[in-house]
């Protein structure tokens, strides 16, 4: 606290002295600093600074998240994440100092996938769309039996489409374990028991006895729990079984299979043959696609593509064999 005193013995002189001091104080640097401090005190500078820093960090995080999403969208390896970050920084984009490793990229994609799945499930549940579930058995990299769970439903009133839900590992290959794993998967995803009772209309699987067994198969157990459930043997699996039965009956197919396998081995195991086939295709003005195997562990559509490739590449194959025969 400061006390301002006037000078002079008479009242007019004292008042004049005080007015002069007030005028000089208003024009002083100390008064300007006091005014600035008063104005800054009402501006919430600390809050504004925190918001500015948060906005900057959020923008940097968004850029990193979009980069990781690009890798997943384009089926690129996560090892490209750090290189893409470096490229964008050289182009002038501020990418921050964290979340630049491939491990961070993996975690980011998993987080985005969970959020997208939650949004899809919430849309299905809120619209009371009818639900179909398709499961199929697979083997993980650790040679453990796993079950792929797909659902089919209408999203926002559009045409129903298949959506991958989860990959679960039942405790065993018994029907009870598969049923428990499936129901836990649906519950974890956001489909409640009450909602399933009203909206789950179909269950699709392969024709294994553990799935479609009449006495204690997964389909039978689910039907007992959900009376309105319609069970179905997957058409793709039925087609595979039909083709396998036909191949067993028609022995001549084995000669065709041997011929296709020899073509595959001829060009997949020799770079020289592949190069000569490409040269023959250029002479004929045609395009050569990759020749695969037929009637193996892949789906029937893969065998059809292999046969179609040979059919389209017939001229190039014929020219290559003619050139090789005359060499």
pLDDT at 49: 64
Looking only at the bridges linking them, the beta strands covering 200-205 and 131-139 are parallel
pLDDT one-digit tens code per residue, 227-255: 889 998 888 888 877 877 777 777 777 77
Q: Provide the token pair at 95.
A: 């990418």
pLDDT band with cut points at 50, 70 and 90 for residue 149: very high
- Which fold would CATH assign to domain 129-233? Nucleotidyltransferase; domain 5 (3.30.420)
Nearest to 107 by CA among 83, 80, 78: 78
Query: pLDDT digits over 255-274, tens only?
Result: 777 888 888 888 888 888 88
End-to-end CA distance of the chain: 110
Least confident piece of the model among 2-6, 24-28, 208-212: 2-6
Asked whether the beta carbons of 164 and 147 are under 8 A apart, the reply is no
Q: Got the DSSP string for 11-31?
A: HHHHHHHHHHHHHHHHTSHHH
Q: Indicate yes or no: pTM above 0.95.
A: no
Given a cut of 90, is residue 285 above it in pLDDT? Answer: no
> Sign of torsion, CA 202 208 211 217?
positive
pLDDT value, residue 297: 61
């Amino acid at each position: 606290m400061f006390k301002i005193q006037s000078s002079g013995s008479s009242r007019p002189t004292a008042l004049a002295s005080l007015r002069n001091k007030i005028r000089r104080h208003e024009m002083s640097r100390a008064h300007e600093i006091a005014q600035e401090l008063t104005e800054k005190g009402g501006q919430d500078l600390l809050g504004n600074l925190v918001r500015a820093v948060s906005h900057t960090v959020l923008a940097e995080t968004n850029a990193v998240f979009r980069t990781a999403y690009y890798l997943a969208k384009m089926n690129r390896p996560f090892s490209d994440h750090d290189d893409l970050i470096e490229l964008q920084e050289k182009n002038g984009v501020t990418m921050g100092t964290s979340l630049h490793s491939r491990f961070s990229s993996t975690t980011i994609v998993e987080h985005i996938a969970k959020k997208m799945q939650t949004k899809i499930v919430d849309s299905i549940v809120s619209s009371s769309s009818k639900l179909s579930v398709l499961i199929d058995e697979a083997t993980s990299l650790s040679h453990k039996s796993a079950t792929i769970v797909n659902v089919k439903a209408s999203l926002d009133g559009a045409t129903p489409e298949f959506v991958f839900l989860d990959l679960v590992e039942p405790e065993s290959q018994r029907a009870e374990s598969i049923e428990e794993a499936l129901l836990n998967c649906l519950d974890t995803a956001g489909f409640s028991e009450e909602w399933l009772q009203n909206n789950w209309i179909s269950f699709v699987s392969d024709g294994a006895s553990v799935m479609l067994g009449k006495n204690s198969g997964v389909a039978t157990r689910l039907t007992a729990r959900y009376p309105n459930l319609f069970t179905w043997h997957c058409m793709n699996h039925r087609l595979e079984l039909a083709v396998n039965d036909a191949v067993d009956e028609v022995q001549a197919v084995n000669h065709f299979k041997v011929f296709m396998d020899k073509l595959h081995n001829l060009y997949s195991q020799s770079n020289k043959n592949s190069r000569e086939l490409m040269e023959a295709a250029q002479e004929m003005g045609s395009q050569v696609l990759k020749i695969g195997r037929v009637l193996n562990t892949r789906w029937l559509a893969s065998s059809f593509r292999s046969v179609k490739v040979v059919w389209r590449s017939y001229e190039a194959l014929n020219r290559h064999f003619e050139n090789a025969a005359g060499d």
